[in-house]
Amino acid sequence: MCGISGFFGGNPGHGEAARKAVLQGMGDAISHRGPDDSGVWCDAEREIGLSHRRLSILDLSPAGHQPMHSPSGRYVIVFNGEIYNHTDLRDALVAGGLATRWRGHSDTETLLAGFDAWGIRQTTERALGMFAFAVWDRQAKELSLARDRVGEKPLYYGWQGVGENAAFIFGSELKALQAHPSFENRVSRAAISLQMRHNYIPAPYSIYEGVSKLPAGCVLVVSLARREPIVQQYWSGLRQAEDGVQTRFTGTDNDAVDALHLLLKDAVRRQMTSDVPLGAFLSGGIDSSTVVALMQAQSQRKVKTFSIGFHEADHNEAEHAKAVATHLGTDHTELYVSAAQAMAVIPELPALYDEPFSDSSQIPTFLVSRLAREHVTVALSGDGGDELFCGYNRYLLSARLWRTMSRAPLGLRKAAANALTSVPTGSWNRVAHALGRCLPSAMRFANLGDKVHKGATVLASRSNDALYLGLISHWDDPASLVIHGEEPPTLLAGNALETHGLNDIERMMAMDLLTYLPDDILVKVDRAAMGNSLETRVPLLDHRVIEFAWRLPQSLKLRDGETKWALRQVLYRYVPRTLVERPKMGFGVPVGRWLRTGLRDWAEALLDESRLRREGFFRPESIRIKWSEHLSGKREWGYHLWDVLMFQSWLESQAVSASTAAPFGYPETATVRAHAI
């Protein structure tokens, strides 16, 4: 696991020493991603430079140093990630007479030998792993960037600067791009609108104009002769979904569970390969418990597992994790943190995430990563199970809701929505608590009041897609909140995903696989872990597991209201059902409660009306109304306010300001340009 960056073209100083200084600065900006080693390489004649920061995981010797050259000398690479089948690739190269003598045992060296033998595209398609890399082809005089199939590893890029200073710059994080002298720092209001809706900025957009995220499963090629990057997809999650439902698994239920079990065991085994200490996150839920169970079953030592606990019972999963760890016999470490300790992380978030990001589970994710890093350098995670095995309550809720509501006239649905929202969220929560275990497990929801109010807002939806967008949206109309904040098209809105053969639930799962998973979940985990110089691996996102999961009939994922049915059956071979059966909680923190208590002064300063008007990004009226209602307890607006607060906190950390404001504080015609003060 590492950090990569570099540039192509431009004029970053004069002479090789100046160019290397720029590269060193870009690498230093992301040194947390690779504290063990650093290296730069440049070709002044071709105006290309590569920078690498290394977190040593495989081959700790100097033979793993980057930038690294291929055996033929044609390719130069900087690589971030892990190739889990690299020994298989080596065997294939040797068997075909295509490999020279190996210098070491790093997967980077294997990739380069593959490039020489098979080319960049074919080698990337053969690779099983998580990665982002940049490789310079000396013969073709082209720069290629690539990202893994699901988007576990990040990669930003874009042309910045004008005239002779125009440069194509790239990096694992935005702070690496900011270290290049041509970086323009222009804030995208469209991206702010996307963050207000989703709590993240979906690919290919970023918070800066002219800077994009390389989509998952893609290779980009650029050259000075052809400055417009060509982006091609080498693997498609949507195609796997569509192909999977057309080639369903036809064996028995037991056959399916057996096949899934073997595939998961192999994925976990491969991802346990490491030359440094390794462990796992454990929440006690289905996904992380399955990963840990398969790790312990294949380890001669006690697997090191880590959990974060909270004293607030409705946000604490540590006791469940401890019970699973005790049953499996892991070497378990848990840390209970106070609200004050968790809130102390907040000032670190803007630097950690580089752009506004407001999934509040970023806080416990950072805390558990910091805890794990005290003991290990690599941690396996259970992310991905919800998207692949129908784990989110909203899938079932949306499908049931649409089947019912689509039969009713639109006017009647609007009246029902008004009736539902007339009951305060707290009252709904008290009803849910009183009913308790009288309800079947599929109907037990944490924070029922918020879900009811959220569901009520989408009763007027005209399609299942519109209903789903409403359920996953925070601010329903960001353009009315963000000045000049027209939303660009995404796969969820404006550029709707075209699917073939998928039912409503499968379509929602596919959309999450392509959007929410790479742009929220994996961003959260990557930045939180790498901010602590910790590598994370996600066995459930082995692309073979993804492809197999899509072949499973829906009845093996959702059965009698129970989600993740097949995955649960694998887990029950190791852990009693009673240890993991409970309502889905999620890995969050009580942001709404904190905003009324310990974070109130901090939030008030960032949401000050005169400040909002002066900065000129938001129309403050609706923000102030929600803030007032939230403080009074009339409504729960924690998520909406957290979106704004994370942008405001990021803005403050970047010393970004709008151009001179127009009358009444609204720069309706102003161009926003970020600048360092």
* 646-666 pLDDT tens trace: 999 999 998 643 433 333 333
Laid out side by side, the sheet with 129-137 consists of 68-69, 75-83, 129-137, 142-147, 218-222, 230-233
What is the model's pLDDT at position 438? 67
At 275, which amino acid appears? D
Domain edge (last residue) among 509, 524, 547: 509
Residue 307: beta bridge partners?
A: 334
Do residues 208 and 38 lie in contact, with contact meaning Cβ atoms separated by under 8 Å?
no
Give the separation between CA 459 and CA 408, rounded to whole angstroms: 10
User: Are residues 28 and 102 both part of a single domain?
Assistant: yes
Both structure tokens of 363: 């806080």
Question: What DSSP letter does each residue of 67-129 carry, written as one string?
Answer: SEE-TTSSEEEEEEEEETTHHHHHHHHHHTT-----SS--HHHHHHHHHHHH-HHHHHHH--E
Kindly give the pairing relationship between strand 535-537 and strand 378-380. parallel
Both structure tokens of 308: 């974060």
pLDDT, one tens digit per residue, over 220-242 is: 999 988 999 999 999 999 999 99
Inside any domain, residue 37 = yes
Res 615 pLDDT > 90: yes
User: Are residues 360 and 504 both part of a single domain?
Assistant: no
What is the model's pLDDT at position 661? 31
Give the separation between CA 530 and CA 348, rounded to whole angstroms: 13
User: By C-alpha distance, which of 328, 223, 228, 209 is closest to 279?
Assistant: 328
User: Are residues 146 and 47 both part of a single domain?
Assistant: yes
User: Are residues 561 and 611 both part of a single domain?
Assistant: no
Inside any domain, residue 670 = no
What is the model's pLDDT at position 658? 41
Query: Per-residue confidence at 497, pLDDT binned at 50, 70, 90?
Result: confident
Question: In which element (H, E) is residue 146 found?
Answer: strand 142-147
User: Are residues 437 and 571 both part of a single domain?
Assistant: no
Phi, psi of 513 (to 5 degrees): -60, -35
Res 671 pLDDT > 60: no
Q: Say what percent of the chain tops pLDDT 90.
A: 70
Domain edge (last residue) among 235, 262, 284: 235
| Higher-confidence position of 465 and 329 | 329
Question: What DSSP letter does each residue of 575-621 carry, written as one string?
Answer: S-HHHH-S----S---HHHHHHTTTHHHHHHHT-HHHHHHHTSB-HH
CB atoms within 10 A of CB 196: 26
What is the three-class DSSP state of 641? helix
Average pLDDT of the residues of the chain: 89
Give the separation between CA 610 and CA 245, rounded to whole angstroms: 54
Inside any domain, residue 368 = yes
Active-site pick, 2, 42, 218, 390: 2
| Higher-confidence position of 224 and 525 | 525
Both structure tokens of 461: 């939806």
Cα dihedral across residues 456, 458, 460, 464: positive or negative:
negative
Give the separation between CA 270 and CA 545, rounded to whole angstroms: 13
Kindly give the pairing relationship between strand 218-222 and strand 2-9. unpaired
User: Are residues 84 and 169 both part of a single domain?
Assistant: yes
Inside any domain, residue 105 = yes
What is the model's pLDDT at position 413? 77
Inside any domain, residue 197 = yes
User: Are residues 293 and 205 both part of a single domain?
Assistant: no
Under 8 Å CB-to-CB from 141, ≥6 apart: which residues?
46, 223, 224, 225
User: Are residues 634 and 485 both part of a single domain?
Assistant: no
Give the separation between CA 228 and CA 156, rounded to whole angstroms: 15
User: Are residues 382 and 432 both part of a single domain?
Assistant: no
Res 434 pLDDT > 80: no
Catalytic residue status for 390: no
CATH code, domain with 536 = 3.40.50.620
Res 243 pLDDT > 50: yes
Both structure tokens of 61: 């010797």
Low-confidence winner among 16-30, 277-291, 390-404, 544-558 (lowest mean pLDDT): 390-404
Q: What is the mean pLDDT of residues 468-481?
A: 91
Question: What DSSP letter does each residue of 389-433 carry, written as one string?
Answer: HT--HHHHHHHHHHHHHTTS-HHHHHHHHHHHHTS-HHHHHHHHH
Give the separation between CA 606 and CA 618, rounded to whole angstroms: 12
Inside any domain, residue 89 = yes
For residue 357, the enclosing domain spans 247-389+510-580
User: Are residues 147 and 185 both part of a single domain?
Assistant: yes
Inside any domain, residue 67 = yes
What is the model's pLDDT at position 63? 81
At 249, which amino acid appears? F
Q: How many domains would you assign to the chain?
A: 4
Domain edge (last residue) among 179, 214, 235: 235
Phi, psi of 53 (to 5 degrees): -120, 130
What is the model's pLDDT at position 290? 98
Inside any domain, residue 132 = yes
Both structure tokens of 383: 């992310």
Q: What is the mean pLDDT of residues 9-38?
A: 88
User: Are residues 548 and 606 both part of a single domain?
Assistant: no
Laid out side by side, the sheet with 48-54 consists of 37-43, 48-54, 2-9, 167-171, 156-160, 212-213
User: Are residues 74 and 193 both part of a single domain?
Assistant: yes
Both structure tokens of 400: 């049931």
